[in-house]
Amino acid sequence: MYSETIVAARVPEEIKQQGNAILAGLGYTPTELINSAYRYVLEFKKLPFESAAPKAGQRTLDPMQLRQITDELELLQVSTYDYSLGGAQSFKQALSGKLKLDYEAQS
């Protein structure tokens, strides 16, 4: 005799509906699909398909992707300009100066 357990998975509603309709058309249930996938993994020690998503630490960027990311990060850099000091400051310096002014205003 065997015992059964419930497996829960989060699936977008539209995919669930479309997938269930196809399974029903093929004469299968979602439970049969899951059991079949688990049997495959147990037998072959791999997924029954090639995953499109790379595993953590396995992704590499081509030079064009790297350049695009670098360009986008450069747009995110914040510069501050303190007119009273007549020059640019780092964010840390600007924050420290603002906090000091706020503190002095409360004194």
Average pLDDT over every residue of 44-72: 79
Q: What is the pLDDT of residue 87?
A: 61
Predicted pLDDT of residue 54: 63
In a domain, 29, yes or no: yes
Q: What is the pLDDT of residue 8?
A: 92
**Quick check: 44 pLDDT over 90?**
yes
Q: What percent of the chain has pLDDT over 90?
A: 37
The arithmetic mean of pLDDT across residues 16-20, rounded, is 95
**What is the domain range of residue 40?**
13-44
Name the one residue in this structure whose structure tokens are 């396995």: 58
- Check whether residue 68 and residue 101 sit in a common domain: yes
User: Please, which contacts does 16-25 make with residues 24 or more away whose CB atoms are closer than 8 Å?
Assistant: none
CA atoms within 13 A on the CB side of 66: 5
Residue 77 has pLDDT above 80, yes or no: no
Average pLDDT (88-92) is: 68
Residues 67 and 102 in one domain: yes
DSSP state of 56: T
pLDDT > 80? residue 85: no
Is the confidence at residue 93, as pLDDT, over 60?
Answer: yes
- DSSP assignment of 14-42 equals HHHHHHHHHHHHHT--HHHHHHHHHHHHH
Q: How many domains does the chain have?
A: 2
Instruction: Please give the DSSP secondary-structure letter assigned to residue 80.
Output: E
pLDDT at 36 over 90: yes
